[in-house]
Structure 1
Amino acid sequence: MTAWGFFPALQFPAMGETQRRIDVADLADLALGARLLGSGGGGRTSTGAAFAHAALRDRGPVRLLGTRDLPDDHTVVAVGVAGSSAFIEERLPSTELATAVRTLLDLLDRPPFALLPLEIGGVNALLAVAAASMLDAPLLDADAMGRAFPRVEQTSLTASGVAVAPAVLAVPDGTTLTVRGEDNLRVAGLIGANLPALGGWAATALYPCRADVARTAAIPGSVSRALALGRSLREAGADPHDRPRFAASIGAEWLFDGVVAEVLRPDRAAPHLVVTLESALPRQETLRLDAGDEFLLAALDGRQVARVPDVIAVLSAREWSVLGVDALRPRQPVSVLRIPRPPIWDRLAAGDLVGPGAHELGSLDTVAGPS
């Protein structure tokens, strides 16, 4: 293990060169790759894909730039939605993302700019594409999480010392809220505290910084990686014999094949689930998954084999579709993969920010993993 408890990283392949633009034809693969990187959470990417489809249809493709393609003094703004993905299903976004970004840029008075997806895992990957299209802005081939996390401060930007604030929240009725502050945890807490009054979710523009700062603080290649993962997953799903090759091609570790035996919430007051999976004879192995909004820990016969910020992906063994935390049911046949975390998390040693303890799983983090 590293000093703060991560398992040694598997190969983290670059998945090809940065694609130069994103068009309507790319959205299905991007949605599939983003859902895979959601680690069981991050919201329904189909909703974001529909929203991005409408924006691209009306305004044309989005330019995708590598982190080295922007001049150092250009402004980068992270964009996404904060709040419950369930509320997004009930009240779909329209112009709020563009409003949040414009309001923040007016406050900063620092154009030109590019947008950065707040998180590549889940619906926010697609919403960033939609925002870039609406604003006719380039999108950086990067993100701030490398997967999905539940809180806006759980980013490589925070770990690198980039301030969340000033941050702007926008909702459909035209209301905007600007949050200022120097402490990212405090600012994130204020954002979360205001979401109920804003209807459960809000479009957010946050983490404004120079391009040369984003170059080292953001996670590079995330959008191209999600596109390539989605494409590979779609192709592998057509032929079960290609599935092991798919895992190897993305540098993933195949953890388990079996059926869901039990889904429990040990403490009704706690947000965490424990999912028990059992393999068929003659192996008779048991895999335990601990989950909050996303899958966080995996233990095979009592030995931890994956932990956040690794991506733990659960796929239907029949359809080869990505399953969310809330989709698991007893007797469901599944396969479980560990997708390696981006190397930046090791470099920044950000265990307190994104590791098991940050998800209130410290008491569960007791079984030694591989050395």
Structure 2
Amino acid sequence: MTTVIRERDLEALVVGVTLLGSGGGGDSRAFGRILQRRLGTGDLELLDAADVADGYLSPVGVVGATSVLSEKLPSGREFATAVQAVSRWTDQPVDGLMSLEAGGLNGLSALVAAVDMGLPFVDADLMGRALPRLDQFSWAVAGRSLTPCALSEPGGQVVVVDNIDPAGLERAVRSFVVHTGGWAVLALAPTPAAAAISDAVNGSLARALELGRTHAGLPVSAAPSEVAGALGGRLLGDGRVDEVARYGGRSHGAGGAFGRGTVCVVDEPSRAVVRIETENEYLLAMVDGEPVVTTPDLVCVLDRRTLQPIAVDAIRSGDEVLVIALPGPEWWRHGERLTHVGPRAFGLTCDPLLLAAS
């Protein structure tokens, strides 16, 4: 069944992509407001590849320091500029768009691009959640090249990158955005639809919308276990944040330097200590020192009163929270894929511990 997004769905979709962000992925509310203005009283279909079987898809999204988007807002031209640049370079028209990642603001940014450019949107992405590095795109993990690609920044500069591996692209992108305002739009090469989704995570935004609708339907009086169960996850803790420690930058993987940290929550009913290891996202949760769930599953921290998700960079000591784990994308659970997004990929000496697949 085709999923259709209308104005009344946007609040739920914002919450859903925020949950898929696992504490990261940037603030999706700004793009939620942009999409609301663009969409108006219209609607947007989330298609599958069969709907554009003979077409070429370009994955698009925002890269860099998404926190500065509130200070340096997009003009609206960046997506079209990046897509047109990579289309010219490859001499291949773009017939539809898909997203780079489903978690956080990029769950919505490609939707904004599709509305602005009048292109179909296919519900497929290269992460299924939020992850910090370009070498963690599913295309890269499957051994496919990420180049040629194009970068467009809000000042108008456009750069096309070709003949470079994912680790090199990660370094090139971060160097570019450091000197051009902190963020840019990335558009990957137009790819036949069937090939584009064969190594992608499918249906992430439909899942996000379902999560958001479920979240919106939770009664104010819902017990913590009911909240976790309704969202299809497991309750790890219900209590107050006792400590938030941030350790500054430490480099992991393909050239990224991300701030490491730890969040400790004291579970009110049991007095157990829930410790969460963080980088850009919540990565690993332990209860009284025993690991219980790890990336690529989703560790979500919700405000206990409002049930709104709290981002890694927004959580503070004294917050009263629920810690809930949700199953991550099925795509990452198979074979060698897990090694690219499990805890050891972030420098954590722990084997993956995953919830039962939903």
User: Could you tell me the TM-score, scaled by structure 1's length?
Assistant: 0.87
The answer to whether residue 235 in structure 2 is matched with residue 248 in structure 1 is no
Matched, 1:78 2:66: no
Question: For residues 243-302 of structure 1, what are the alpha-carbon distances to aligned partners after superposition, in whole Å with 9 as ceiling and x for unaligned?
Answer: 64443344211211111111113x445411111111225x22111000011100101111
Determine if the alignment matches structure 1 residue 272 to structure 2 residue 260: yes
- Is contact 2:17–2:105 with CA below 8 Å preserved after alignment? yes
2:255 corresponds in structure 1 to: none
- Deviation string 1:321-341 (CA, Å, 9 cap, x unpaired) is 110112222222111111111
Q: What residue identity is the alignment partner of 1:194? A: F
1:264 counterpart letter in structure 2? A
Aligned to 1:29: 12
Match of 2:294 among 297, 307, 319: 307
Q: Is the CA contact (8 Å cut-off) linking 2:343 and 2:352 kept in structure 1?
A: no
With a CA cutoff of 8 Å and minimum separation of 6, indicate the structure with the bigger relative contact order: 1
2:220 pairs with 1:239 = yes
Mean Cα deviation higher: 284-293 or 158-167: 158-167
SS of residue matched to 1:232 = helix
Structure 1 residue 108: Cα displacement: 2.0
- Aligned partner of 1:343 in structure 2 is 330
SS in 2 for 1:140: strand
Amino acid at match of 2:173: I
Q: What SS does the aligned partner of 1:188 have?
A: helix
Give the drift of 1:149. Answer: 1.1
Alignment match, 2:256 = none
Query: Which of 90, 94, 112 is equivalent to 1:130?
Result: 112
Native 8 Å contact 1:164 1:208 kept in 2: no
RMSD of aligned Cα (Å): 2.2
Structure 1 residues 112, 83: CA separation in 2 closer, same or farther (over 3 Å shift)?
Answer: closer
Tell me by how many angstroms 1:110 deviates: 2.1
Matched, 1:142 2:102: no
- CA distance in structure 2 between the partners assigned to 1:66 and 1:369 by the alignment: 28
Aligned mate of 1:151, from 109, 127, 133: 133
Contact 1:96–1:203 (CA<8 Å) still a contact in 2? yes
Structure 1 match to 2:27: 44
Counterpart Cα distance in 1 of 2:62 and 2:351: 34
Q: 1:90 pairs with 52, 56, 71, which one? A: 71
Deviation of 1:43 (Å): 1.0
Count of matched residue pairs: 347
Aligned to 1:56: 39
- The separation in 1 between residues aligned to 2:8 and 2:266, in whole angstroms, is 39
Q: Distance between the aligned counterparts of 2:310 and 2:354, measured in 1?
A: 25
Structure 1 residue 207: deviation in Å?
Answer: 5.1
| Partner in structure 2 of residue 11 of structure 1 | none
Displacement of 1:217: 0.9
Q: Distance in 2 between matches of 1:158 and 1:284?
A: 43
Give the conservation status (yes or no) of the 8 Å contact 2:327–2:354: no
- Candidates 168, 172, 197, aligned match of 2:179: 197
Corresponding residue number in structure 2 for 1:4: none
Give 1:367 deviation, angstroms.
10
The correspondence for 1:105, drawn from 87, 102, 115, is 87
Q: Which is strand-richer, 1 or 2?
A: 2
Aligned residue for 1:8?
Answer: none
Per the TM alignment, residue 370 of structure 1 is displaced from its structure 2 partner at its CA by: 9.4
The separation in 2 between residues aligned to 1:285 and 1:314, in whole angstroms, is: 16
- Can you list the C-alpha shifts for 1:11-48, whole angstroms capped at 9, x where unaligned? xxxxxx440x3232222111110111110011111111
What residue ranges of structure 2 are gaps of 5+ in the alignment? 251-258
The whole-number CA distance in structure 2 between the counterparts of 1:189 and 1:358 is 17
User: Partner letter of residue 70 of structure 2?
Assistant: E
Query: TM-score scaled to structure 2, two decimals?
Result: 0.90
1:289 counterpart = 2:276? yes
User: How far, CA to CA, are the matches of 1:194 and 1:257 in structure 2?
Assistant: 42
Q: Conserved in 2, the CA contact under 8 Å of 1:171 and 1:198?
A: yes
